């Protein structure tokens, strides 16, 4: 394994454990040259999934693309990288269980939103606003009302009058 800090090609494994769903092995490694530690994940190579995009194009399923979207949604939120990885693993497993070798990109987005909604409301709304391509504040407010239990958000405290 090549060290991401100095590029040296030798390291030692400090810790190794299965992920929560036991679909991957997480390894903590230490570079034998610079001494810095980094994490790698080892996955079983599955039959490749093809994603059908909105415009009909097909492309290989790419964990990195989904992770990039989740990272953007979770920016400055208390969500660990481990939780983000778990979301992707769960999404990938769900797709593999239910589909042949092709899946609509919209299905992937819905699965990610399902997990984000349980994990962090702000990250969910951020992801949904990009994924669903909100055109105006009205669509954004509808999503927020749904999160708040379909109650109209109060802009003024009860008993206070607008000036």
In the chain, % of residues over pLDDT 90: 44
Residues 27 and 52 in one domain: no
Q: Which of 7, 8, 4, 25 is nearest to 16 (CA)?
A: 25
14 and 93, same domain (yes or no): no
- What are the pLDDT digits (tens) for 63-114? 899 999 999 999 999 999 999 999 998 998 888 887 678 899 989 999 998 9
Reduced to 3 states (helix: H, G, I; strand: E, B; else coil), residue 24 is strand
| Through-space distance between the first and last CA atoms of the chain, rounded to whole angstroms | 65
For 44, the token pair is 């079983």
pLDDT band per the 50, 70, 90 thresholds, residue 154 = very low
**3 domain-assigned:** no
Residues 101-127 have pLDDT tens digits of 889 998 999 999 899 989 988 898 888
| 3 state DSSP class of 5 | coil
Q: What is the pLDDT of residue 47?
A: 62
Number of domains in the chain: 2
Q: What is the pTM of this model?
A: 0.59
DSSP string, 46-59: PPPPEEE-TTS-EE
Per-residue pLDDT, 93? 85
* Same domain (yes/no): 41, 78: no
User: Residue 98 is part of which domain span?
Assistant: 48-147
| 33 pLDDT more than 60 | yes
* CA separation for the pair 52, 48 (Å, rounded): 13
32 Cβ contact partners less than 8 Å away, ≥ 6 residues apart: 8, 10, 11, 12
Note whether residue 159 is domain-resident.
no
Please indicate, yes or no, if residue 2 is contained in any of the structural domains: no
- How crowded is residue 79: how many other Cβ atoms within 10 Å of its Cβ? 19
**Is 42 within 8 Å of 76 (Cβ atoms)?**
no
Residue 147 in this model has a pLDDT that exceeds 60: yes
pLDDT confidence of 155, banded at 50, 70, 90?
Answer: very low
């Amino acid at each position: 394994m090549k060290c991401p800090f100095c590029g040296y090609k030798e390291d030692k494994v400090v810790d190794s454990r299965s992920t929560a769903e036991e679909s991957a092995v997480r390894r903590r490694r230490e570079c034998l040259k610079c001494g810095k530690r980094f994490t790698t994940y080892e996955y079983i190579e599955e039959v490749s999934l093809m994603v059908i995009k909105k415009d009909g194009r097909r492309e290989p399923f790419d964990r990195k693309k989904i992770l990039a979207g989740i990272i953007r949604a979770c920016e400055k939120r208390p969500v660990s990288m481990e939780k983000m990885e778990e979301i992707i693993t769960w999404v990938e497993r769900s797709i593999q269980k239910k589909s042949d070798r092709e899946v609509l990109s919209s299905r992937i987005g819905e699965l990610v939103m399902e997990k984000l909604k349980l994990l962090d409301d702000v990250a969910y709304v951020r992801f949904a606003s990009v994924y669903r391509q909100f055109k105006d504040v009205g669509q954004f407010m509808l999503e927020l009302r749904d999160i708040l239990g379909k109650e109209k958000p109060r802009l003024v405290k009860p008993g206070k009058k607008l000036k």
